[in-house]
Amino acid sequence: MKALRFGRHAALAVVAAGALALTACGSDNATGTQNSAPASSGPKVTGTLTGVGATSQSAAMDAWKTGFSGANQGANVQYSPDGSGAGRKALLDGSAQFAGSDAYLKDDEYASSKAKCGPDGAINIPVYISPIAVAFNLPDVKELKLDADTLAKIFRGQITTWNDPAIAALNSGVTLPSLKITPVHRSDDSGTTTNFTQYLSAAASTVWTDKAGGLWPSSLKGENAKGTSGVVKTVTDTPGAIVYADDSAVSGKLGVASIKVGDTFVKPTADGAAKAVESGKAVAGRAQGDLSMTIDRKSTDATAYPLTLASYHIVCSTYKDQATVDLVKAFENYVVSDAGQQAASDAAKSAPLSKALQTKAQAAIAGIKVQG
Amino acid sequence: MTGSSASGRAGDKVFSGTAMGAGILILLVLFGVAAFLVVQAFPALVAKPADIQGGAGFWAYIAPIVIGTLIAAAIALVIATPVAIGVALFISHYAPRRLASGLGYVIDLLAAIPSVVYGAWGAAFLAPAIAPGYAWLAANLGWIPIFAGPASATGKAILTAAIVLAVMILPIITSLSREIFLQTPKLHEEAALALGATRWEMVRMAVLPFGRPGIISAVMLGLGRALGETMAVALVLSSGALTASLIQSGNQTIAAEIALNFPEASGVQVNTLIAAGLVLFVITLAVNMVARWIITKHKEFSGAN
C-alpha cells in the first residue's frame, strides 16, 4: 500500500516536472510570415524580424528598432545581443533571419551559409562603424602623438614611464611627466579588443607578436576592467593610465592620442573611420554585392583612421518567402539610410557610413530575393 | 467528527504529495543542471589543447583560476569570520536589547544589497581609495611575497576583491551565528556565571562550544557565496595571470571568468567556460560535504542533544 502510494505520487511528480521541462523547451522563434507586402520595395511592411548578435550594436539596434517600427506599423524587430559568435551561429542554423557581428563570416561559415541562404550564401553589410580612441590620463598633457610600435610597446609593458625616450621623440615640445604608465585593457571578450589587437599585429608586427583576438593575451600583465564604461572609469581614476576604447565613451579629463598614419598623426573622427572602412579591401570569394571589408591597418592615407571597428549585419541572399524578403530589405534599407545611420549616431555615437559605402550597401540589399 | 477527520486525511495526503513532489523536483533540477554541465563541458575536456584559450589545454587553463577563486574566498573568510563572530556575540550577549535589535536589522540589510552594487562600490570607491595603501605595503613590506610590488596603480587587485567579498559574506555569517548564540541554553550560561566566570569566560565556556557547529555551517555558507560570487569580482578585479602578490593586478575567479567571457564566446570556448562552471560546481559540492562532515563530527561537543 505504502509503496503503491509512493509510486503514484512519484509518477505524478515526474509528469509535472516533465511538463515543466517541455514548456521550457517550447521554442519561441518568431518568424516573419505575416501578410506579404507587394513585391516592389513597398514603403510599408509588417511582421517580425528576428536577429541575434553582437552586444556592440545594442544601443544602435534599439534606435533602429524604434525608428523602423515607427515608420512601419505592424512591423517589429527582435534583437537578442548574445554575442557575435552566437549571432553567426543562429543565422547559419536558421533560427535568426539576420545576425549582428563584429566580424564578417569566416570562409567556412560562408560555405555553410549556403545550406540555409541558397547558392549565393549570406551577405555581410557593414552597418555600424566606430573609431577606437587611445585615451590617456595625464594631468597636464592633453595632446599626444603615438605610432603603432610605441603603442604596442606601451601595452606590452616594454615602455613603463611616460618620459621614455621613445614617447619623447614623437612629442617634441611636450613636457612628459616621469609617471608610471598603467595600460588598461578590457577584461571581457570584446570586438574593441579584436580591432585594437588586429591593428597592433598588423601595424607593429615586430613588437606585437600575439595573435589578434577578442580576449587580451593572458601572458601580458596589466590592469583591466569590464566593459567600455569600466575601462574609461578606471583610467579616469588613475593618473598615468592609458586605454583603447570606443571614441564615443571618451570624454572629460582624458586626452586622446593621435595615431601615426603615413607621415602624419591622425585623431579619431567619424569621417576618418568611415573612410577606413570604405577603402578597406573587399574579401575575395564572397557573394555578389557582399561588403566584407578588411580594414587596411597599415594604410598611409591620412584621411583614414585605421583603428576602427566595423560591425556587420549578416543577412541571407535569398529567403524562403516574399514576406521575409520584404521585411529584411525594408529593415536593412532603413539601417543604412541617412535616417538610420543618424539614429545610430545619436544613440551610440557611431560614425555614419560614407556615401559610397551606403550606395554599395543599398545595391547589396536590393539583390536579396526569394529562393528558387 | 468523521467528516472533519476524513477531510483531514485528504488534506494530509495532498500535503504529503506536494511536499514529496517538491522534494523530487529539486533533485530533478539538480540532476538536470549537473547533466547539462557534464554534457556541455565534455567537448572542452577532449578538445585539442591548442583549441582551448591559452593554447595549453583545459587543465592548464583552469588551474590558475581555480587557485584564484580559492585565494579570494579564503582571504574573504579570514577577514569576515572574526568580525562576524564578534558582531554576533556583541548583539547576542553584550549590547543593550534595543541597540541589539537595531544592529541586527542593519546587518540583515547588508545582505539585501545586490552584488552588482557591491561591485560598483568596490570598483568606483574602494579600489582608488585603497591604492595608496597598496603602494605603501609594496614599499615597506614588499619582501613578503604576498605584498610584492609593483602595487596595482588602480587598486583593483585580488585583495580588494576579497575585501568586497568579505563585506558581502559578513551578514550571512553574522545573522546565522547570532541565531545560534541566542539559542545557548540559559542554564549553561547561568551555571557558568554562578561558578564565578566573567562574561568572557562564560562566552568561551558555554556559548562558543555550543555554537561551534552552527558557526562552521555559517562560515561554510559564507564560503559558498564567496566562491560563487560573480558580478562583484567581475567589476572589481583587474584580472590576469596567477600571481602570488595580492596587491598586484592579476588572478581571476571562475565565476567572474565565465561572466566576462560568456557573452561573446563561440564554439569550443563556450564548452570551456561551461567546463569551468562544472569545476566550480564540484568545488562547492566538496565544500558543502566537508562542512557536513565537520558538523556531524563535532555534534557531541555541542550540547545541543
- Say if residue A307 is exposed, middle or buried (CB neighbours under 10 Å; 0-12, 13-18, 19+): buried
Instruction: Tell the CATH topology of A132-274.
Output: D-Maltodextrin-Binding Protein; domain 2 (3.40.190)
Q: Using CA atoms of B231, B233, B238, B240 in order, give the dihedral in degrees to the nearest 10.
A: -110
> What pLDDT, on the 0 to 100 scale, is given for residue A17?
45
What are the structural domain ranges in chain A? 9-126+313-370, 132-274
Cell of A35: 501578410
Express as a percent the part of chain A with pLDDT over 90: 44
Contact list in A for residue B24 (CB cut-off 8 A) is 10, 13-14, 17
> What pLDDT, on the 0 to 100 scale, is given for residue B298?
67
Pick from A10, A55, A226: CB nearest B264: A55
B4 confidence band (pLDDT: 50, 70, 90): low
Pick from A13, A180, A225: CB nearest B21: A13
Are B263 and A189 within 8 A, CB to CB? yes
Which residues 230-259 in chain B show a CB within 8 A of chain A? 234-235, 237-241, 248-250
> What pLDDT, on the 0 to 100 scale, is given for residue A253?
82
Cβ contacts of residue B137 below 8 Å, gap of 6+?
A: B147, B151, B247
Are B20 and A9 within 8 A, CB to CB? yes
Vertex B173 angle, CA B172 and B176, to 5°: 85
> What pLDDT, on the 0 to 100 scale, is given for residue B263?
77
Are B154 and A223 within 8 A, CB to CB? yes
Pick from A189, A225, A240: CB nearest B238: A225
**Global ipTM:** 0.73
Pick from B25, B54, B240: CB nearest A13: B25
Contact list in B for residue A184 (CB cut-off 8 A) is 154, 238
> What pLDDT, on the 0 to 100 scale, is given for residue A38?
35
> Which residue out of A9, A101, A179 would a mutagenesis test of the B interface target, given it has the greatest number of B Cβ atoms within 10 Å?
A9
Work out the mean pLDDT of chain B and round it to a whole number: 88
H helix intervals, B183-207? 186-194, 199-202
Å between A205 CA and nearest CA of chain B:
20
Contact list in A for residue B150 (CB cut-off 8 A) is 180
Q: What pTM does this model have? A: 0.78
Of chain A, the end-to-end C-alpha distance in Å amounts to 65
* Domain A9-126+313-370: CATH architecture, name and number where available: 3-Layer(aba) Sandwich (3.40)
pLDDT at B286 > cutoff 80: yes
Q: Chain B residue with minimal CA distance to A90?
A: B266
CA A324 – CA A314 distance, rounded (Å): 15
> What pLDDT, on the 0 to 100 scale, is given for residue B300?
55
> What pLDDT, on the 0 to 100 scale, is given for residue B5?
67
B72 within 8 A of B162, measured Cβ to Cβ: yes
Q: Which of B216, B211, B222, B213 is nearest to B75 (CA)?
A: B222
CA A139 – CA B187 distance, rounded (Å): 67
Q: Chain B within 8 Å of A243 (Cβ-Cβ)?
A: no
Q: Chain B within 8 Å of A225 (Cβ-Cβ)?
A: yes
Contact list in B for residue A21 (CB cut-off 8 A) is 32
Å between A200 CA and nearest CA of chain B:
19
B122 within 8 A of B165, measured Cβ to Cβ: no
Cβ pairs A/B, distance under 8 A: 116
Cβ contacts of residue A360 below 8 Å, gap of 6+?
A: A289, A291
Q: Chain A within 8 Å of B303 (Cβ-Cβ)?
A: no
Q: Chain B residue with minimal CA distance to A194?
A: B264
Other C-beta atoms closer than 10 Å to the C-beta of A43 total 10
Which listed CATH number (1.10.8.640, 3.40.250.10, 3.40.50.150, 1.10.3720.10) goes with B47-301?
1.10.3720.10
CA B33 – CA B274 distance, rounded (Å): 11
Sign of CA dihedral A201, A206, A211, A217: negative
Q: Chain A within 8 Å of B153 (Cβ-Cβ)?
A: yes
CA A305 – CA A144 distance, rounded (Å): 16
Mean pLDDT of A178-204: 91
Are B234 and A237 within 8 A, CB to CB? no
Work out the mean pLDDT of chain A and round it to a whole number: 84
Q: Does A132-274 match A9-126+313-370 at the fold level?
A: yes
Mean pLDDT of B176-199: 90
- Which of A286-295, B160-169, B212-221 ranks highest by mean pLDDT? B160-169
Are B154 and A237 within 8 A, CB to CB? yes
> What pLDDT, on the 0 to 100 scale, is given for residue B3?
53
Å between A303 CA and nearest CA of chain B:
32
Q: Chain B within 8 Å of A55 (Cβ-Cβ)?
A: yes
Residue whose C-alpha cell reads 578606471 in the numeric block: A234
- Beta pairing partners, A161: A180
pLDDT tens per residue across span B45-54: 888 888 887 7
B176 or B265, higher pLDDT: B176
Q: Chain A within 8 Å of B53 (Cβ-Cβ)?
A: yes
Are B21 and A12 within 8 A, CB to CB? yes
pLDDT tens per residue across span A30-69: 443 333 333 334 457 888 999 998 888 888 999 999 999 8
